[in-house]
Amino acid sequence: MILPAPEVTVQRIGREGEPLVVIDNFTGQPDRLRAMGMAAHYHPAGVDYPGRRALADPSYLDLRRELMMQVMARVFGLTRSIRCEVAAFSLVTLAPEELSPRQRVPHHDHSDAGRVAIMHYLGGPETGGTAFFRHRRTGFEAITPEREADYAAALAEDEREFGAPPSGYPQGDSAAFEQIAAVEAQPDRMAIYRGRQLHSGIIPDPAALSADPAKGRLTVNMFLFGT
């Protein structure tokens, strides 16, 4: 199979310069991935993710194995070993009023520098991309192990000063957070970033969210761990 030429951009975002890699035309076959997502069996994702997930096969990353190894080594400094910890088709489904307080603010997935998140978009801009944030009180854009306690204390101070976060998905600037970058969803576009970065899905039209993978915000989410 002849793959389309990938389009790769590498940014250093915010004041802290955390890397954000965007790869367009990753597989050249987004329709095939969407079909797999539509055939998958979904289940509630738990307390953190606002929707449903199904197992996905991460082996399609091998289509761009050399490129991925270069990105992991040159951008993220992972040169010894890499493994996929999680791979899932994901659907954001919760209505804004159903979100828990922790789902109403930007989040980080892991504080470990060796854990890298992959967001593979299968829909267009109308489905929503990913935004990245700076926490105003601390100035943190990435939550490292050394910052976790201070960040938790600062979030509690935010709630005392500003009240509970408003109902709804995080969007743009707020009293507690400043948006510093965003990736627009495009079919077969992949965003790669450390899980420690503060981020949130962009949900442009909550009324369009659906548990039907043929209609909803269908993505493939993965976490790689490397050294």
Residue ranges of domains in the chain = 7-226
C-alpha 75: how far from its chain's center? Answer: 17
Mean pLDDT of the chain: 96
Q: Residue 47's pLDDT is what?
A: 83
Q: Is the pLDDT of residue 1 over 80?
A: no
Query: Would the CA dihedral through 152, 155, 161, 165 be positive or negative?
Result: negative
Q: Residue 136's pLDDT is what?
A: 98
DSSP H or E stretch at residue 149: helix 148-162
Going by pLDDT thresholds of 50, 70 and 90, the confidence category of residue 2 is confident
Q: Residue 3's pLDDT is what?
A: 86
Name the pTM for this structure. Answer: 0.96
* Contact by Cβ (8 Å): 6, 25: yes
**Structure-token match 């829909």, residue found:** 123
C-alpha 11: how far from its chain's center? Answer: 16
DSSP H or E stretch at residue 156: helix 148-162
Top pLDDT among 3 and 137 is at 137
Q: Residue 69's pLDDT is what?
A: 96
Give the CATH superfamily of 7-226: q2cbj1_9rhob like domain (2.60.120.620)
Rounded Cα distance, 41 and 22, in Å: 28
Mean of the pLDDT values across residues 64-75? 97
